[in-house]
Amino acid sequence: MRAEMDSEAPIGVFDSGVGGISVLEHLTKSFPSENFVYLGDTARLPYGTKSSQTVRMYAEQCLEHLHLRGVKSFVIACNTASSAYLEKAYKTKPVYNMIECGSLEIIQKTSGRKTLLLATKTTIQSGAYSNCLKNLNSSVELILLAAPLFVPLVEEGVLSGPLVEEVLRHTLKPVENLIAQKQLDVCLLACTHFPFLREEIEKYLGSGIEVTDSSSQLEKLLRQDKKNHIQSLRRSSSAGSLQFILTDSSDHFQKFILQRWPDRKIDFTHI
């Protein structure tokens, strides 16, 4: 009875804003019958320019809120929040974070040249990726680059065009020689907002650099955990429910969601 209740319970996903939607899109495709609750902390976004201490406090508040809503596990769909909350559980329920997934992705994709890691300032300053790769016994050479203007672009829905190109030129200037000399093999989008700019980033970096993110590894971890009985996935042929909770009202956010899941029944709540 308990196991059944657990499997029906939703998976709780959170991010500061729309970034985590890139992760949720992957998860709803991979686990179509699962129920999801997504918390967007829009009242305090962005996280990536704030201190680790402040972001950790926000992350714990988001985890607690989702816990009170009875989720069976948590996905921190935000690299910055992940870098500030690295524990693998919250109140005995499993927590999946982006840092581990991103590190596994780098290890799998690199062919031995340098990996470019694009992230927020706070993620980079945390050192979380370097530490995680070290713990995984990897000696991949990371080039860490903060891209603080990508999040505002995505939150504003500016995903292509000359302005995106100029922001890319400005941001990638410190690595322009590495790009020109083909010294990079992988570019990890280590902020969940960035996959919305993927096509433009790919175009800018040119061929020979694989642009990737953490979602596939997250999917793998969730499937492994199912096998390990750490958590049960829902067994149903019907589509799961999708619920969105925002800490600040946002028409923009609602439009963004409705465009992405036009066929799903979606519930919005503002707290």
What amino acid positions are annotated as catalytic residues? 78, 191
Residues 6+ apart with CB under 8 A from 127: none
| Helix, strand and coil percent figures for the chain, each rounded to 5 | 45, 20, 35
Binding positions for a copy of itself, 213-242, rule CB under 8 A: none
Q: How far apart are the first and last CA of the chain?
A: 31
- Interface with a copy of itself includes 193 (CB under 8 A)? no
Q: Among 244, 250, 256, 257, which residue sits at the site for a copy of itself (rule: CB under 8 A)?
A: 250
CB 38 to a copy of itself: min, Å: 19
- Interface with a copy of itself includes 49 (CB under 8 A)? yes
- Interface with a copy of itself includes 249 (CB under 8 A)? yes
Structure-token pair, residue 168: 């890319």
In this structure, the number of other CB atoms found within 10 A of the CB of residue 200 comes to 17
CB 166 to a copy of itself: min, Å: 4
- Interface with a copy of itself includes 53 (CB under 8 A)? yes
CB 118 to a copy of itself: min, Å: 15
**For residues 105 and 217, what is the distance between their CA atoms, to the nearest angstrom?**
6
> By CB under 8 A, which span of 6-14, 183-191, 197-205, 248-256 interacts with a copy of itself?
248-256
At 75, phi and psi to the nearest 5?
-120, 115
Shorter beta-carbon distance to a copy of itself: residue 47 or 90: 47
Inter-residue contact 48 to 148 (CB < 8 Å): yes
- Interface with a copy of itself includes 50 (CB under 8 A)? yes
**For residues 171 and 145, what is the distance between their CA atoms, to the nearest angstrom?**
8
Structure-token pair, residue 15: 């991010």
- Interface with a copy of itself includes 266 (CB under 8 A)? no
Shorter beta-carbon distance to a copy of itself: residue 28 or 250: 250
| Number of amino acids touching a copy of itself (CB under 8 A) | 28
Q: Among 136, 159, 163, 258, which residue sits at the site for a copy of itself (rule: CB under 8 A)?
A: 163
Going by DSSP bridges, is the β-strand pair 114-119/11-15 parallel, antiparallel, or unpaired? unpaired
| Alpha carbon distances (Å) from 186 to 95, 105, 107, 110, 118 | 26, 10, 10, 6, 11
Binding positions for a copy of itself, 138-157, rule CB under 8 A: 148-149, 151-153, 155-156
**For residues 142 and 196, what is the distance between their CA atoms, to the nearest angstrom?**
22
Q: Among 29, 170, 182, 255, which residue sits at the site for a copy of itself (rule: CB under 8 A)?
A: 170
- Interface with a copy of itself includes 169 (CB under 8 A)? yes
**For residues 90 and 150, what is the distance between their CA atoms, to the nearest angstrom?**
30
Q: Which residues bind a copy of itself (CB under 8 A)?
A: 42-45, 49-51, 53-54, 148-149, 151-153, 155-156, 158, 161-163, 166-167, 169-170, 247-250
